[in-house]
Amino acid sequence: RRSMPAASRSCRGISRARPRSRTNTRAFDWCRTSYGAGYADVNESACPLEVTVNAPNLPEDLVGTYFRNGPGLFTRGGNTTNHPFDGDGFITRITLPGDGTLSFRGDFVKTDAYVEEKRANRRLYRNSFGTQRDGGPLANAFDVTQKNIANTNVLVWPTQTQQDDETPKLLALWEAAQPHRLNPTTLETEGVDYINGLLRPGAPFGTGIPDLDRTLSEAGVGVGGKVLAAHPHVDPRDGRLVCCGTLVVPKNGSLATEVTFYELDKNLKPIETSTESLDSFILLHDFAFTDEYYIVAQSPLELKSFPFVLGFKGPGEPECINFKSTGLTTLHLIPRPQAARRRSLQRTSVQVPSCFIFHFVNAHQKDDKVIIDVVQTKSFSAWHPDRSLEASFGGFHRGLASGTREFLDSYFDVGDTGRLVRYDVDVASNSANVISPLSDRTVEFPRLNDNQWSRSHRYAYVGASRHPTRAQPLQCWTKVDYSTVTTEGRVGEQVLYDAGEKGFVGEPTFVPRANTSGREDDGYLIGMVFNGETLETDFVVVDARGGREAIVVNIPDIRLPLPALHGTYTRRVFL
């Protein structure tokens, strides 16, 4: 048991991310071998993983539990996933009891598919990003059932439950299926949760005939399902959990996407439910909302189902999802039911230049405008742009895991990485003013003080590249100051934590201080870092106000994969 001293670089000043003619690239270099080492399996035979670490430097008022989800297993029976996003979900629990220790526990989400494949030691299911059932195209043809990998996000609900007799639910989320419920103390999987009957089994592809979809779902043929997207959000005004799910259906010889929005109480029972049909196929990972609108981004994607149906490709591969760079992206502002009852509101759909939006930073209303902050890429950028180079390494995941300079440099140097962008939407004129880019730094996984969600915010926190302009992996946590956007068209930036040449960060989660002053940034950033030097995992705590060294707690003998995704924090202590 040990606690590592702080190992970070803190910047007290705010620097502007302006293009620089002379930048010491070497000072911001990153280790390709360490990055590749991050794409390794969790030791499945040792699970559940558990260790307690002495951590006397942790803040006394940081008491609670941090949960995180992400892909944890990439190899089964010698068959490696085609893409890291196809890895089985692995839940991490970091408990901070307030006694100078840190308790770590981690285990896989034991979906039915995971259990079956582990028992058989081979791949029995198809995955979204091209990982196929063993046996080639003939073994995969005409089977549209996809494996529920439960690997994207984790929800604790109600979030701030304090009473010992009221145990909140812990749900593992993946947007193309139904969530799995876990025991928040042991992380044992308890089964699929259909959210009080709002959801139903099957993939989110339907016939357009509700009764037939329900029949197909009940028959277990793998389609006609109702699912929950992986990014629920809490409305700070009334404490509702606001979430959504999609169903792709045929319409007029093409496709449409039905987006169902749910506003749930503390028992996950519906207060409001509404469905909006949007023309064409939508790949919905995240959404935003304001007091009056839900906000969905529709990128110019074309779904080609034949390679998937015939067993050659996964539905998330470029051969099935075609990004039309000459098209436009549409921002849909859909009235929330309660707001529509207060006054007459119609859906507003605004077209902006072609892009893909994985994550929203936030959105809020100001007078007659809706201000939307996002992280966007130029295209659907989950893949290497040169498929021949990818094939030369035997698959995209194997290319990343190889740590090969040629593959990794070409992947990042293409420049199609996340950038901060703002849209000022004028609802009355049905138009948008685009402020882009707000920064030249590569960013992803935006978070903010959740009390500011759907309200005006000043600060956001992102995983970011060390280099201020070049496309690189995420190795820093950066504080973004939006107060300068209206005057300068740029955000201020402050690097709160730098993991160094061999360290790679995950999503930062903001935790308000227990006795907060009320300042928006009065709290901590917490999260996980892959240490490419020790090949172990670090838990990092940073003062969100800046100007102080990070607290880095090494978790010995625990090696977690690099590409972990999303997490959440609750003040409830689970041990």
Long-range CB contacts for residues 316-320, cutoff 8 Å, separation at least 24 = 316/83, 316/85, 316/128, 316/129, 316/130, 316/382, 317/82, 317/129, 317/130, 317/383, 318/380, 318/383, 318/387
Contact by Cβ (8 Å): 81, 27: no
Burial tier of 438 (Cβ tally within 10 Å: 0-12, 13-18, 19+): buried
**Domain count of the chain?**
1
Q: Give the tokens for residue 434.
A: 């685009």
Q: Give the tokens for residue 179.
A: 């969530």
Indicate left, alpha or beta for 191 from its phi (over 0: left) and psi (-120 to 50: alpha).
left
Confirm or deny that 397 is annotated as ligand binding. Answer: no
Q: Which residues contact 182 (CB under 8 A, 6 or more apart)?
A: 91, 109, 170, 171, 172, 188, 189, 190
Domain with 357 in it? 15-570
The answer to whether residue 515 sits within a structural domain is yes
Of 494, 416, 424, which Cα lies nearest the Cα of 460?
494
Q: What is the DSSP letter of 197?
A: T
Confirm or deny that 566 is annotated as ligand binding. Answer: yes
The answer to whether residue 5 sits within a structural domain is no
- C-alpha atoms less than 13 angstroms from C-alpha of 509 in its C-beta half-sphere: 22
Residue 433, strand partner residues: 424
The answer to whether residue 4 sits within a structural domain is no
For residues 86 and 79, what is the distance between their CA atoms, to the nearest angstrom?
12
Confirm or deny that 285 is annotated as ligand binding. Answer: yes
The answer to whether residue 63 sits within a structural domain is yes
CA angle 500, 502, 503 (to 5 degrees): 65
Q: How confident is the model over 235-258, as pLDDT tens digits?
A: 999 999 999 999 999 999 999 999
The answer to whether residue 8 sits within a structural domain is no
Q: Which residue bears the tokens 């991050």?
A: 38
pLDDT reported for residue 25: 54
Q: What is the pTM of this model?
A: 0.93
The answer to whether residue 10 sits within a structural domain is no
pLDDT reported for residue 298: 98
For residues 400 and 382, what is the distance between their CA atoms, to the nearest angstrom?
12
The answer to whether residue 379 sits within a structural domain is yes
Q: What is the pLDDT along the chain (575 residues), one digit of tens a residue?
A: 333 333 332 222 222 233 333 445 567 889 999 999 999 999 999 999 999 999 999 999 999 999 999 999 999 999 999 999 999 999 999 999 999 999 999 999 999 999 999 999 999 999 999 999 999 999 999 998 899 999 999 999 998 755 556 789 999 999 999 999 999 999 999 999 999 999 999 999 999 999 999 999 999 988 999 999 999 999 999 999 999 999 999 999 999 999 999 999 999 999 999 999 999 999 999 999 999 999 999 999 999 989 999 999 999 888 899 899 889 999 999 999 999 999 999 999 999 999 999 999 999 999 889 999 999 999 887 787 777 777 777 788 989 999 888 888 888 876 578 999 999 999 999 999 999 999 999 999 999 999 999 999 999 999 999 999 999 999 999 999 999 998 999 999 999 999 999 999 999 999 999 988 889 999 999 999 999 999 999 999 999 999 999 999 999 999 999 867 999 999 999 99
For residues 554 and 165, what is the distance between their CA atoms, to the nearest angstrom?
33
Indicate the helix (H) or strand (E) that contains 189. strand 189-192
The answer to whether residue 9 sits within a structural domain is no
